[in-house]
Copies of this chain bind each other. A is one copy, B any other.
Amino acid sequence: MDVERFHVYDTTLRDGAQQEGLSMSVQDKLAISRLLDELGVGFIEGGWPGAVPRDTEFFQRARTELDLSTATLVAFGSTRKAHAAAADDELVRALLNAHTPVVTLVAKSHVGHVERALKTTLSENLEMIRDTVSFLVGEGRRVFLDAEHFFDGYRSHPDYSLDVVHAAVDAGAEVVVLCDTNGGMLPDDVRSVVSEVSDATGARLGMHAHNDTGCAVANSLAAIDAGASHVQGTINGTGERTGNADLITVVANIELKRSQQVLPAGALPEASRIAHAIAELSNLVPYSRQPYVGSSAFAHKAGLHASAIKVDPDLYQHTDPSEVGNDMRMLVSDMAGRASVELKGRELGFDLSNDHDLVTRVTRRVKELEAAGYTFEAADASFELLLREEAGEERTRFFDVESWRVITESRPDSEAVSEATVKLRAGGERAVVTGEGNGPVNALDHALRTAIGTLYPEIDKIELIDFKVRILDAAHGTDAVTRVLVEMTDGASSWETVGVGANVIEASWAALVDGVNYGLLHQDLDRLTS
């Protein structure tokens, strides 16, 4: 695998950071750079020194704090101002001071943008490209050129867009990256434009795609088919508007579907871990439907297929999930059979293949509970507790609830308030505790924490982060059965539990109790194993 033969170029830290509501500290950017290096990308575009103070600081600290093994760090910037010398341009100087082996320059390649946005002449724009590229090359930098709005520009004035490519190459640019800046292209058009430009200029070409037509990945592949040997993208497809091409999806398609290795051997199986870690660092909720690395990417509704999946999983998955460090997951759902319970157990680390009776008992209980309105599809934690209970484990319940009551009251001109009283026994002691909250579940949550906090101080680590409520039998409205899904986290991992009841508070309480028990149980297990 030769990182120079094909460039896997990551711009998560620069173009990816353009995403609405996303902000990364210098610390985050350094941590993400290390993860990108683990993934084995060839180039990491770190930001725009000079223009963005945080990026200037990033490149300063990178010199001492980053020790990259595979990746080459890249500083991004713009061609010099009109009618001035690159050598005197403050922002061009800032690019030199970033001390990166590679500099990527963005340049206009669309007549309309030169005239109406940049407001200079077509010839001056070409001169800005020649001057800036050759100055940086003269200073010993490798230079890549991002040809902004290239595809739209080529459509309106192909000759000028080609002049831009020639100007860059003649001045010493190694790669000219054709950018679909507005993201409106479709694969066929990308393929034809890239091959025409390749034939007309012989330049080494790259592709920078956005997802506005839902085709960023396909457009990147089309460009590669047409001869591009440099592809830009971001981890998790972050970016402005609909985002950039998802680099992991592009690379996984190239390696797994086209059998062309573009990452170091053994790197791709790290993709899921790295994608999730970068999502965490960027404070993004991971997208469950994300190709290859999403938590649902290899999830199957059990039911009919389960037995066939046991026989031959390849019948039902387009690739082996371990190729990208993901796992096949079985969703225990309606029509749950023995096969799916067994598969689900294995997934949670329980080998049930030799315990026929246990599988029978668990399957029966799952079916009973599902008939009553439960669903374990999005509630692995409740399923695991059920499994452990049926397996006869004792340490699954950390307290016994006696009774609870919650009052919610609304007075004129004041927000409604809730007050909950919980009576339970924990560790032989009886507790009667009252908690307040801005909602009934919140009040119950507070009361429960107070009631068991002394005995189980680790409860402080456990937080309720989401709950969802569904009415199951719409025909009867509020008379109907209610299903509540609760999600909790201990900071390191998160888990979901389910509760069902005619009363929404009762259902919420059941899910809440399951969630707390699961959290305490796993903190116990962690202690035992560490």
What CA separation (Å) do A283 and B285 show in the bound complex? Answer: 17
Instruction: Report yes or no: B21 in contact with A378, Cβ–Cβ below 8 A.
Output: yes
Shortest beta-carbon distance, A445 to chain B, in Å? 6
Q: Which of A183, A334, A415, A477 neighbours the largest number of chain B CB atoms within 10 Å of its CB?
A: A477
Chain A residues in the interface with B (C-beta under 8 A): 18-21, 23, 25-28, 52, 112-113, 116-117, 149, 182-184, 186-188, 211-219, 221-222, 225, 237, 240-243, 246, 249-250, 252-253, 257-258, 283, 285, 287-292, 294, 296-301, 305, 308, 311-312, 315-319, 330-331, 334, 375, 377-378, 402-412, 415-418, 437-442, 445, 463-479, 482, 485, 487-488, 501-506, 509
Q: What are the 10 tightest A-B residue pairs by CB atom distance, in nearest-first order?
A: A184-B318, A218-B218, A442-B478, A469-B469, A464-B477, A21-B378, A214-B217, A416-B506, A117-B308, A27-B474
Query: Which residues on B sit within 8 Å (CB–CB) of A287?
Result: 287
Instruction: Report yes or no: B506 in contact with A116, Cβ–Cβ below 8 A.
Output: no
Instruction: Report yes or no: A410 in contact with B418, Cβ–Cβ below 8 A.
Output: no
What CA separation (Å) do A445 and B296 show in the bound complex? Answer: 35
Instruction: Report yes or no: B408 in contact with A441, Cβ–Cβ below 8 A.
Output: no
What CA separation (Å) do A240 and B501 show in the bound complex? Answer: 28
Instruction: Report yes or no: A463 in contact with B439, Cβ–Cβ below 8 A.
Output: no
What CA separation (Å) do A371 and B377 show in the bound complex? Answer: 33
Shortest beta-carbon distance, A65 to chain B, in Å? 13
Q: Which of B27, B212, B292 contacts A297 (CB 8 A)?
A: B212
Instruction: Report yes or no: A241 in contact with B442, Cβ–Cβ below 8 A.
Output: no
Please list 20 pairs of residues, one from A and one from B, whose beta carbons are closer than 8 Å in the complex, sorted by A's number. A20-B288, A21-B377, A23-B470, A113-B315, A116-B308, A149-B315, A182-B316, A186-B253, A187-B187, A213-B253, A214-B216, A240-B299, A241-B289, A243-B289, A410-B503, A410-B505, A415-B501, A437-B479, A442-B477, A467-B478
Query: Which residues on B sit within 8 Å (CB–CB) of A311?
Result: 116-117
Query: Which residues on B sit within 8 Å (CB–CB) of A300?
Result: 240-241
What CA separation (Å) do A422 and B445 show in the bound complex? Answer: 26
Shortest beta-carbon distance, A522 to chain B, in Å? 18
Instruction: Report yes or no: B437 in contact with A478, Cβ–Cβ below 8 A.
Output: yes
Instruction: Report yes or no: B318 in contact with A505, Cβ–Cβ below 8 A.
Output: no
Query: Which residues on B sit within 8 Å (CB–CB) of A218?
Result: 186-187, 214-215, 217-219
Instruction: Report yes or no: A468 in contact with B283, Cβ–Cβ below 8 A.
Output: yes
- Take A241-B300, A478-B442 as given contacts and tell me if A408 and B20 are in contact as well, using a CB distance cutoff of 8 Å: no
For the A-B complex with A117-B305, A215-B217, A440-B505 known, give 5 more contacts whose Cβ atoms are closer than 8 Å: A117-B315, A214-B218, A283-B470, A416-B506, A468-B470
Query: Which residues on B sit within 8 Å (CB–CB) of A403?
Result: 409-412
Instruction: Report yes or no: A315 in contact with B213, Cβ–Cβ below 8 A.
Output: no
Instruction: Report yes or no: B474 in contact with A20, Cβ–Cβ below 8 A.
Output: no
